């Protein structure tokens, strides 16, 4: 981890990348450019995760989202586009409704974010040599701990001495198994759904304008 100033510079850099990508997604009229903006935005989010000290999650963000989901979306764009750089037309009413909804939502969310002030209630111990303060009872989150939590061994953070394991510390074994089966079922279903033939008698509708 760099010093506070380096962290601030990197944070603002990647925050601008993230928000700029999101704005490209909204404002671009072509779906391919929106996908590129999404890649930028997700990359910035991954870097923000790394900056916040969540290295494993940041790496997973790069691999699953930027490497997997966006490629899937790009295939979707390619398989459903009739011609390159398909324009996305939007009526003025839709923009009006969106802005009317987005403005109050933004105000509410900004107020909530501004009113959040963390209390420094938990005492921190300051290392005499380096001056780095680490909260009492704080274990570093390592990929090994994440994996152990997914396998059912979750150590509570406030008991680093590894006291008696109670019911609350039993980790995430059940959600992990559920989501594994869920992913399997979903992928089989997606493969089935994508390959299913259009029933006879339902001819594709004749559309002159693609997205008017």
Partner 1 sequence: MFSPITPAHYLFVGIVLFVTGMICLLTKRNIIAILIGVELILNAANINFIAFSSPVLFPKRVPPLVLDGQIFVLFVMILAAAEAAVALAIALHFYSRFGTVDVDQGDELKG
Span 43-72, contacts to partner 1 by CB under 8 A: 45, 48-49, 51-54, 56-57, 60-61, 64-65, 68-69, 72
What is the C-alpha to C-alpha distance for residues 40 and 24, in angstroms, rounded to an integer?
Answer: 9
Q: Is 118 in the site for partner 1 (CB under 8 A)?
A: yes
**Residues between 143 and 182 with contacts to partner 1, criterion CB under 8 A:** 145-146, 149-150, 154, 157-158, 172, 175, 179, 182
**Residues between 98 and 117 with contacts to partner 1, criterion CB under 8 A:** 98-99, 101-102, 105-106, 109-110, 112-114, 116
Q: Is 86 in the site for partner 1 (CB under 8 A)?
A: yes
Q: Is 187 in the site for partner 1 (CB under 8 A)?
A: yes
Provide, rounded to whole angstroms, the least separation between the CB of residue 164 and partner 1.
18
Q: Is 193 in the site for partner 1 (CB under 8 A)?
A: yes
| Residue partners of 18: CB distance under 8 A and separation at least 6 | 40, 41, 44, 45, 48
Task: Judge whether 14 and 42 are in contact, CB under 8 Å.
Answer: no
What DSSP assignment string belongs to 84-135? SS-B----HHHHHHHHHHHHHHHHHHHHHHHT------S-EEEPTTT--EEE
Q: Is 85 in the site for partner 1 (CB under 8 A)?
A: no
Q: Is 137 in the site for partner 1 (CB under 8 A)?
A: yes
| Residue partners of 189: CB distance under 8 A and separation at least 6 | none
| Residue partners of 132: CB distance under 8 A and separation at least 6 | 126
Q: How many residues in total does the chain contain?
A: 212
Name which of 164 and 208 has its Cβ closer to partner 1.
208
State the number of binding residues for partner 1 (CB under 8 A): 104
Which of 84, 131, 140, 201 lies at the binding interface for partner 1 (CB under 8 A)?
Answer: 140
Q: Is 124 in the site for partner 1 (CB under 8 A)?
A: yes
DSSP H or E segment with residue 186: helix 173-195
Name which of 19 and 163 has its Cβ closer to partner 1.
19
What is the C-alpha to C-alpha distance for residues 152 and 38, in angstroms, rounded to an integer?
Answer: 34
Which of 76, 163, 174, 177 lies at the binding interface for partner 1 (CB under 8 A)?
Answer: 76
């Amino acid at each position: 981890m760099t010093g506070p100033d380096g962290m601030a510079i990197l944070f603002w850099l990647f925050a601008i990348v993230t928000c700029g990508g999101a704005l490209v997604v909204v404002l671009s009229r072509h779906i391919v450019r929106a996908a590129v903006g999404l890649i930028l935005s997700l990359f910035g989010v991954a870097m923000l995760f790394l900056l916040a000290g969540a290295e494993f999650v940041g790496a997973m963000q790069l691999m699953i989202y930027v490497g997997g989901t966006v490629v899937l979306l790009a295939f979707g764009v390619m398989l459903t586009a009739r011609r390159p750089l398909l324009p996305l037309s939007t009526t003025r009413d839709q923009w009006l409704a969106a802005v009317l909804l987005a403005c109050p939502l933004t105000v509410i969310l900004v107020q909530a974010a501004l009113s959040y002030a963390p209390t420094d209630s938990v005492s921190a111990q300051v290392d005499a040599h380096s001056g780095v303060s680490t909260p009492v009872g704080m274990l570093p989150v390592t990929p090994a701990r994440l994996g152990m939590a997914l396998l059912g061994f979750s150590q509570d953070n406030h008991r680093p001495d590894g006291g008696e394991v109670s019911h609350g510390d039993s980790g995430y074994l059940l959600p992990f198994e559920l989501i594994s089966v869920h992913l399997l079922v979903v992928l089989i279903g997606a493969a089935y759904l994508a390959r299913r033939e259009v029933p006879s008698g339902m001819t594709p509708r004749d559309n002159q304008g693609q997205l008017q």
